[in-house]
Amino acid sequence: LMATTDFYPWEDGYSGEAGMLPELCEKQAVQGFARTFQPAVYLLLSLLGTAGNGLVLLTHTRYRQAHSVTDVCLLHLALSDLLLLLTLPFAITDTLQGWSPGTAVCKVLQGLYSLNFYSGFLFLTCISVDRYVAIVCVPAACRLRPRARRYGWLTAGLAWLLAMLLALPQFIYSQAEQHQGLRLCRVVFPRAVSRAARGATNLVQVVFGFAVPFLVMVSCYAAVARTLLAARGAQPHRALRVLLALVLVFVALQLPHSLMVLLDAAELLASWEMSCAQSRRKDLALLVTGGLAYLRCCLNPLLYAFLGQRFRRELWL
């Protein structure tokens, strides 16, 4: 699959079309790096993440029922991450050989990539809100507990719906087209869509797909941390270390890539064009930070499920 810079494969696909750079900007070095970096990294992440998230799905569906919002969201988070990682083999093929399926398959895969990318963020956010209610707002949690499962599935449905809305540009505008001798799958906005509109699309996706979920997560976990620190005993402090790991991993792995997408949006909204050297550096940065963003899908099972004693016990039943 191919993203929308002059060269850059797949990762930028969910962010809308990048700046229209001059055709004279040669990027063979970036292409060579992508053909080495992406297949090796994506294959490894796909295998590890598929195994981890597959175990989470197996455990949740076979050994335990979803009784809370967190249980339901963990189940959907694993499904979302698994579906996202299953698109990586197509990205590898696109990078090495070009895109052989038609535009319809291109639209579906680009759309599914974006859908599962954003839904993963939203499920992480829902888990943080549920933990906030359960630990900080205990009376409210007690009142909601009898209907927690129903609320969990309603929350998951709303998260999928919002993710679908954010992924609409990829479902609508992705297409397979010839580019420098290869047939590639990429998001191509019609000429009638202005640079400002493309930039606004990027901006909306970054704000509602990353910035807002991130702020909600930090706010909820900060309140949870204050409550746990006020408690006595070792168990709250173990939970606090897990919460800190969750936020740090989210920031370290996702923030760099989201900042690069935001740079694309700023370029389009400000109607300025990068030099060829700057464009090459941006493409390289998108490649590397995109790999980091995929790594988050592999670590989610470890952080959100495997660290739980109940999950580990049920896994080996």
Q: Is the pLDDT of residue 134 over 90?
A: no
pLDDT digits (tens, 9 = 90+) for 165-178: 999 999 998 887 77
Q: Would residue 285 count as lying in a domain?
A: yes
- CATH code: domain of residue 53: 1.20.1070.10
Residue 287, C-beta contacts closer than 8 angstroms, at least 6 positions apart: 8, 9, 11, 30, 33, 34, 37, 38
Name the CA dihedral angle for 262, 297, 85, 74, rounded to a multiple of 10 degrees: -120
Confidence of residue 161 (pLDDT cuts 50, 70, 90): very high
pTM, to two decimals: 0.78
For the chain, the domain total comes to 1
Domain span holding position 93: 11-16+23-315
> Is residue 177 one of the residues assigned to a domain?
yes
Q: What pLDDT, on the 0 to 100 scale, is given for residue 63?
A: 65
| Residue 6, domain member (yes or no) | no
* 164 — pLDDT class (breaks 50, 70, 90): very high
Residue 269 lies in a domain: yes
Q: Is the dihedral of CA 92, 174, 292, 30 positive or negative?
A: positive
Distance CA 282, CA 278 (A): 6
89-122 pLDDT per residue, tens? 887 877 777 666 778 888 888 888 889 889 988 9
pLDDT tens track for 222-278 = 898 888 788 766 565 666 676 677 778 877 888 888 888 777 667 666 666 777 777
Q: Is 268 inside a domain boundary? A: yes
289 within domain boundaries:
yes
Please tell me the predicted confidence (pLDDT) of residue 181: 63
Task: Mark 160-173 as b/e (b = at least 16 C-beta within 10 Å).
Answer: bebbeebbebbbeb
For range 72-84, the mean pLDDT: 88
For residue 240, being part of any structural domain is answered with yes
Q: Is residue 4 part of a domain?
A: no
